[in-house]
Every structure is written in structure tokens, then in C-alpha cells.
Structure 1
Amino acid sequence: MIRPVGQPAAASDAPDGRKLYQQVAAAVAEAIQRGEFGPGQRIPSERELAEEYKVSRPTIREAMIALEVIGVVRSRHGSGIFVADNPPLDTPMIGLDIGAFELTEARRLFEAEAAALAAVTITDAEITTLERLIGEMERENQAHVSGEHADREFHLTIARATRNSAVADVVQSLWDTRYKAPLCMHMLERARSVGVQPRIDEHQEILAALRERNPKAARKAMRDHLGRVIDGLLRATEIDALERARAEVEAKRTDLAKRVAV
């Protein structure tokens, strides 16, 4: 089990069944409860926490977002993560079991194979539907429509084109999780808030492979697309860290200017 702040432990020491980010979030919450971090106090940086708990920085981001969702901490743009004024430390992280990284990784596995299978079964009518949905996706991007309805229908159309109801059900279930899991929803909303949108060119590549009835190309196009979705999520959740770093540099520059002026 991950130990409280100040007593780092490797991830392999935690066989209690909780996901890694949940273990980190629980440890930070316990440290707050013990008074190591008081209301309004800034939480250590992402880099410091990653070193403390021997986990990756994306895991720390997921843990901090989970704590933010349940109101234990709050994010100040450009400044960092701070303990909430009245943190509800007894609030369980129910429903925070799936984050956007984990979900997209699962989609990459299932939807790549669905695209390969669909390439040999898809109809001309379904190809026409995908073409229309890409047009709708582009209009939604321009109008900054949240929810990504055309994107969802594009991927579900491919899943249904496999003529395998089990495959279609799995893909639909993964998409439905995007709108049900609080942690996942919060992370995706953060990504949208900094301009992350469905990539039209990537969907066109998937469509081109399907139009050619090329399973290998369809699989690769889908895998590449969802791999870049993961990269986009990493960049989106890293923005606060970058802003914080810039703020720290600016503060040091201001302090140095004061010293020089003495």
C-alpha cells in the first residue's frame, strides 16, 4: 500500500486492488487529514509527488484531478493545486474508477480490431454515413460543440459495420463510460477547455482505409488516431504544470530584480 507523504513506496507495494492513481489520491488525502497540508496550502508539484510516490507524472495528474472532482483540492490556473478551504476528507471516490487515459487505451485495443473487421464487411451506405459524419464533426468543431456527438456516431457506425453485435456493444459501452465516469468526464472537459477537438484528418484516414476495404490500413489508422488522442490528453493535463513552471520562473525573475535594485 502506498504510504503517506514523506514515506515513499514503490507501486509494487500496493496489492490492495485499487488503481494506482486512487492509491496516490488516498495517500495525499490522508496527509491533508493529518494536517501536513492545511486549507488553502499549495500541494507539492507534480514532479515532487511523482518522485515521492515512485509513479509517473500522468498518474499524479489523474490523482489530483480525482481529488479535485470530489472537492478535496482545487486548481488555480498558473499557480498550482491547493487544498480546498473545507475539504470533505471522508468522501469516498465512488465512480472515479475509470480515467480518460485508461478508457482511451481500452478503446485503442477494441476499436482498432473493430476497424479491421469492418473493412471487410462495411457497405457503401455506411461509407456514405461516415462521410456525412465527418462533415458534421467539422461543423461541431467550428461551433465548439461539447459532447462530440458526430465523433461518437462515427466510431459506433464502424463498430456496427462489423456485423458483430458483441463488438458493437463493447464499443458503445466504452463510449457511454465517457459520459458516466466523473473522473473521465472531468479530464475530457479539461482537454476540451484548452482546445482539444476531434481531428478531422485522422478520421479521414480511417475512412480512406475502410473505403479501400483494407483491414491492415484500417487497424493502423484507428490505432494511430487513438494513440494521438492519448497524447492530446497528456498535453492537455500537462498545461497547468507548464503554466505553474512559467509562474515560478517569473516569480524568481521578479525576486532577482528586487535584489539587484538594492
Structure 2
Amino acid sequence: MGGPRFEPVRAVRAYERVVEQVEEAIESGSLTPGQRLPSERELMVQFSVSRSTVREALRVLQARGLVRSRPGDPNGAEVLPFTPAALHKSMTTLARVEELSLAELLQFRMVLDSSAILLATRQRSEEQLAEMDAAVARMREAVEAGHDTFGAADVAFHDAVARASGNKLIQICTDVVRSIVLGLISEKIATAPDRAALMRQSISHHEEVIAAVRAGDGRLAARLSRKAMYDYYAGYVPADERSALRALLE
């Protein structure tokens, strides 16, 4: 028999509706940071739900960093200002729930890092350039001494670039995506037989990027940044998915 095919309907729990309405009020500005929600009893009346439903909604809102609710507080939950930490948490949850592939995450990192380096080339200070130099020097020391501090020094380099970009959202997104990527493949990196060679190659790439930044050639720095990312990580991506990364090298 012809006609449309319908998908199963997902039952929406009452607390989810409460969460949605409070989120909408915060997003629209009807509720602003520092304001308080009505008391639990008043919320029960306004939403026409049970106390357990109200409490579950408040738990969700608090977990999302939108409100602060203290047990036994006679006042309603306080609306919190939106912070980078809240965005970091939301993005991390989104990336994990959506089960993004390593190739997708790395592709986004290549876009973010190259954009950050392009902006940093235009806007960096001498102090920020010195921070990048110092981070690469620590990377070199880590390889020579056989320490596990190479990763931390690499993170410091990319943090310095992100700060020099002057864009807070780039800083947050870079941090989130990097932490998820490393969470997926840190063990493989640690046990790679050619790890020292990969680290030396990474240092060489970083030095080339810094030289381009120092020379004020943002396009070259961005292109080198993408190439460095590809060379270091592509081996961890299934061969049939690497074309998505190579597209950013052209």
C-alpha cells in the first residue's frame, strides 16, 4: 500500500518541557544572569507538574551550567552567566553524543588551527610570538630528554596561537576538539614505534609555522599548519577517510 512512511514518536518527559521553556526564557533574555527562578512550589503550579518533575528539570539545567540550585534554599534557582566553561562542556557533550568520526574532528581542527594562525599572524604581539618560540623549545627538550612533556608543550604552542588570534570562540573550540581527538588516540600516539621521528617532524613543522608568522605571511603559515596537522594525524585515520583531510591541503 502506498503513502507516506511515519517514524516512531518519541515520548517527551514532562521535565524536558520544563527545561525547554526555561532555556528559551534565558536565550530570549526574559531571564537574565543573577535573576532567580520561582520557588519549586511556584514552578509546580505554573507548569502543573509534580515536585519530582521540577527537581529533575533543575538538575538538568544545573548540569548544563544554566542555573545554580542549592538544596534547602527557600529562594528559586539562580540564573548563571554563560561562561566559556559551559560552552566547553556543551561542545564536548555534542561531539561525543553525535559520535563524530576522527576524520571529522581532525578536519575541523585543521580549519580552526589554520584560521587561528592566520589571525595570529596579523594580530600577535612580540610577547605572544615569544610564547610560541618557548613552547617549541620545550617540545625539543622533551624529545631529547625522552620525557612525556612533549604533548603539554605542543598544547602550549596551540594555546598561544589561539590567544594571539584574539577570538575567544576559536580558543574554546580549539581546546574542546583537541581534547576529544587526544582522548581518542593518545594511547596510539604513546605506543607508536616511530614516535620520536614523528615528534621531530612536528617540531620542524612548528618552526616553519613560526617563521611564516614572524615574516607576516599568514597564508603560508595557515597552509603549513594544515600540512603539519595532516602529517602528524593522518596515519591514525582509516585510509578511505583521508581524502576529507587532503581536501584542505589543496
TM-score (normalised: structure 1):
0.47
Higher helix residue share = 2
Task: From the CA coordinates, give the structure whose radius of gyration is larger.
Answer: 2
TM-score (normalised: structure 2):
0.50
